[in-house]
């Protein structure tokens, strides 16, 4: 923090000296050069803060930070990450509301946005895996209680929506096995 204040003061001092030397000529050029350097640092810091916010699952903040980085630099990568973060926020809402269809559709939309960084996509995968793990726990509970009817249809919906996603193949296979067990309980 001390070095940042020192460097800002130093830059301001240099700027004042340049104004005196150039007597106002080319002042705009110098100002734009300095401003461009500051924008890049602000955007870089916003991205670092967004990475921390993702770890803490503060998706609204992630969205705001990527928006700041996008506005400050007009960088297409930051714009893509911002758009992905909008979808990630929606996914969180759908996950909390147990709206599987909307969650998976939003995940598909997120994946259509091209980005070099896997930051948001990795978090989206983690969110879907969390939903699948919760579904497995619920299926086991229904299996133990002997009331599988609702769970069988829910697992079939997951199979239908996620059957082609190789990234979730293991989770879906486990749910299919649970569905078969639940159907066996229902047949009794």
Any idea what the Cα angle at residue 158 is, between residues 105 and 122, rounded to 5°?
55
Contacts of 127 by beta carbon, 8 Å cutoff, 6+ apart? 88, 91, 92, 95, 103
100-144 confidence digits (pLDDT tens): 889 888 988 998 999 888 999 999 999 988 888 888 888 888 777
Provide the mean pLDDT of the chain.
Answer: 78
In a domain, 63, yes or no: no
What's the pLDDT band for 185 if we cut at 50, 70, 90?
Answer: low
Please tell me the predicted confidence (pLDDT) of residue 170.
Answer: 84
State the pLDDT at residue 6. 47
Does residue 2 register a pLDDT over 50? no
pLDDT at 33 over 70: no
pTM, entire model? 0.69
Average pLDDT of the segment spanning 158-164: 73
Domain assignment present for residue 64? The answer is no
Q: Is residue 44 included in any domain, yes or no? A: no
Domain total of the chain: 1
Q: Confirm if 58 and 89 have CB atoms less than 8 A apart.
A: no
In a domain, 19, yes or no: no
52: tokens are 């921390």
8 domain-assigned? no
Q: Domain for residue 134, yes or no?
A: yes
**Per-residue pLDDT for 17 more than 70?**
no
Across the range 78-99, mean pLDDT stands at 93
Residue 161 confidence (pLDDT) above 50? yes
Query: What domain range includes position 152?
Result: 98-188
Identity of the highest mean pLDDT range in 20-24, 103-107, 153-157: 103-107
pLDDT at 18 (0 to 100): 59
């Amino acid at each position: 923090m001390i070095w940042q204040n020192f460097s800002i003061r130093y830059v301001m001092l240099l700027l004042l000296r340049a104004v005196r030397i150039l007597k106002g000529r080319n002042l705009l050029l110098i100002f734009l050069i300095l401003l461009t350097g500051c924008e890049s640092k602000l955007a870089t810091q916003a991205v670092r803060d967004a990475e921390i916010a993702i770890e803490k699952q503060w998706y609204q903040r992630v969205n705001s930070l990527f928006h700041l980085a996008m506005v400050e630099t007009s960088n297409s990568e930051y714009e893509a990450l911002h758009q992905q973060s909008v979808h990630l926020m929606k996914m969180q809402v759908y996950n909390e509301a147990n709206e599987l269809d909307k969650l998976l559709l939003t995940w598909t939309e997120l994946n259509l946005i091209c980005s070099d960084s896997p930051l948001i996509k990795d978090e989206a995968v983690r969110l879907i895996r969390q939903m699948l793990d919760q579904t497995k726990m619920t299926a086991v509970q229904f299996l133990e209680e002997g009331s599988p009817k609702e769970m069988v249809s829910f697992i079939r919906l997951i199979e239908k929506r996620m059957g082609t996603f190789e990234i979730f193949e293991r989770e879906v296979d486990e749910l299919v096995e649970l569905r078969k067990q639940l159907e066996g309980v229902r047949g009794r």
